[in-house]
Chains A and B, each alone.
Chain A
Amino acid sequence: MIQTQQLCLKYGSIEVLKDINLTFKSAGITSIIGPNGAGKSSLLSLVCRLQQPTSGTVTLNGKQISQIKSPELARELAVLRQENYIVARLTVEDLICFGRFPYHQGRPNAADIAKIDNVIDFLDLQPFRLRYINELSGGQRQRAFIAMVLAQDTQYLFLDEPLNNLDMKHSVNIMKRLQQAAHVMHKSIIMVMHDINFAACYSDEIIAMKQGRIIYQDCPEMIMQSQVLENIYDMPLKVVELEGRPLCLYYR
């Protein structure tokens, strides 16, 4: 279980995160939603030790993450940011092999290679296996990166807008795969999402942020109501029911 206590982040006098107290469950899919500038990506950075908080702590199973050694922590949680730019010329296979780095430290063995093959099959990346990542389309590259963090085989997986650049078919595919990973392999997947409908459809829990604070943390049924969403996003929208599922219409 990952918990945050009074987490704050400030850049000078600008408060990006104010007194965040959260508990992330150890299994299931959690979506973090909110308008731009709410502090979602910053929260992810702080929880995954990519940045140091101004004040407050993050604990993993009771132990502070600043006390846990980084290689050990890399086997417990993984993070994939929004922007990933790599200068080196890597093939998809090489990239996914890096996902196993916390285990093989540069010398992959047969078990690592088996795991890499597994992940490539899991996300249908076989046709691109030996292609260089800078020669792939944005969507294909995104899938390769998701494969990499999946290969890291951690209990907690933090994804910042994983459906960026993905077409409809692959967005649905990835969400189904992630749901499979969460429920079958008992992983906890925490994603920052912009598409509220995807979040509602696949999440077990939704956390809503606004202006650096958590304003709602509840199951999708409670969040998917017109007033709640209007409060979060500050825009007129409508929640309708389609085939027994809530759907948010905000396009006009």
Chain B
Amino acid sequence: MHTRLEFPEPLKKRRLLPIVKLTANYRLCLAALLALATCLLYLSYNVTASWEFTLQFRAKKLLTFLIVAIAISTATLLFQTLSNNRIITPAIIGFDSLYILIQTALVFLLGAMQYTQLNVYLKWSIEISLLVLAASFLFQWLFVKKRHSLYLLILIGVVFGVLFHSLSSLLMRLINPTEFTVLQDSLFASFNAVDPHLLLISFLVIGCIGAFVASHHHQYDALALGEAMAINLGINHARLSRVTLIIVITLIGLSTSLVGPVTFFGLLVVNLAYIVSASHRHRHLIPMSICCAIIALVGSDVLLQHFLNYNSQLSIIIEFVGGIFFLLLIFRNKIR
């Protein structure tokens, strides 16, 4: 006689924690707390000299980090919204290459000695005016030919980026090795010893831009639907894209002239924000990408300073750690 074996009912897995539905606002708060914690860690970890001196020194550097983090992440996000493309970055216009060309040309024309003795304000004004002017010049082409103009801008930017890079390489070969070592230092982003007046100016500019972006963030949501759809919904696309491009240029030009070539991490933090935000709205995306940028920059500097003893570069750490984190997220199917 066959008896049916009765299997005991499987033990119900007890949920230890109630599953919290992580809304976008909740995630943003978490990210902000994490960013704050990273900043506090940066300020207070391993203080060897006097607290007064260390805090003063580190606070200034932290402010530089904050300015650059806000500027680069916002600029990259707005540029991606405008071009309806999530793998593009404003660096494609050739900012970093132009900055390197300016430094190389200055060393070539003035010599290493004069270059290091250049007035900080003069150098900063030359850099920012050339960067902003060059990019604005590109825009004349944007508004002369209106069709497919954004793609034309990007294409021209890529070509100019290559041109600037080639010119820099040529000039680098022409200067002597000692002068080259002086130049080489300025080819990497440096957050040390930024003049406090420049910091203040940058802060004010970012404040104004921030106010504009905050008042128009709903329009950017509609812009993300594409040009035709945005115009259909009543957005003045021509005006908004013009203003946004000026904002992007200003923000990137500002941070590049402040610390050097630094646009590399924009793409990483913005795509992280898309995954982690659980929202398509700019009121969540912009703050989230700023928080990610702060965590990336400040966290990497803590790593660089205390654990690697400055034996590396900020860009290397950010791209390494950030890249792995990004890949982990992809493999966990967070990107759809």
Chain A residues at the B interface, C-beta cutoff of 8 Å:
48-50, 52, 70-75, 78-81, 84-90, 94, 98-99, 101-102, 105-107, 132, 134-135, 149, 152
Docked Cα-Cα span, A52 to B237, in Å, equals 13
A-B contact count (CB 8 A): 69
Q: Is the CB of A88 within 8 A of B280?
A: yes
Contacts of A72 in B (CB 8 A): 234
Q: Is the CB of A98 within 8 A of B218?
A: no
Q: How far is the CB of A161 from chain B (nearest CB, A)?
A: 14
B231: Cβ under 8 A from any A Cβ: yes
Contacts of B169 in A (CB 8 A): none
Contacts of A102 in B (CB 8 A): 233-234
B146: Cβ under 8 A from any A Cβ: yes
With A74-B234, A88-B280, A101-B222 as contacts: A79 and B228 at CB distance below 8 Å: yes
Chain B window 213-237, contacts with chain A (Cβ cutoff 8 Å), 1 for yes, 0 for no: 0000111011011111101111110
Query: Which of A70, A85, A89, A107 meets B235, CB within 8 Å?
Result: A70
Query: Which of B224, B227, B232, B235 meets A87, CB within 8 Å?
Result: B224
With A107-B218, A134-B336 as contacts: A86 and B226 at CB distance below 8 Å: yes
Q: Is the CB of B228 within 8 A of A70?
A: no
Q: Is the interface of B mostly helix, strand, loop or mixed?
A: loop
Contacts of A86 in B (CB 8 A): 224-226, 229
Q: Is the CB of A71 within 8 A of B234?
A: yes
Docked Cα-Cα span, A49 to B218, in Å, equals 22
With A73-B234, A74-B234 as contacts: A85 and B228 at CB distance below 8 Å: no
Docked Cα-Cα span, A158 to B228, in Å, equals 13
Q: How far is the CB of B128 from chain A (nearest CB, A)?
A: 31
Contacts of B232 in A (CB 8 A): 48, 50, 74, 78-80, 149, 152
Q: How far is the CB of B105 from chain A (nearest CB, A)?
A: 38
Q: Is the CB of A101 within 8 A of B234?
A: yes
Q: How far is the CB of B81 from chain A (nearest CB, A)?
A: 9
Q: Is the CB of B218 within 8 A of A106?
A: yes
B84: Cβ under 8 A from any A Cβ: yes
Q: Is the CB of A52 within 8 A of B146?
A: yes
With A89-B280, A134-B336 as contacts: A70 and B236 at CB distance below 8 Å: yes
Q: How far is the CB of B237 from chain A (nearest CB, A)?
A: 8
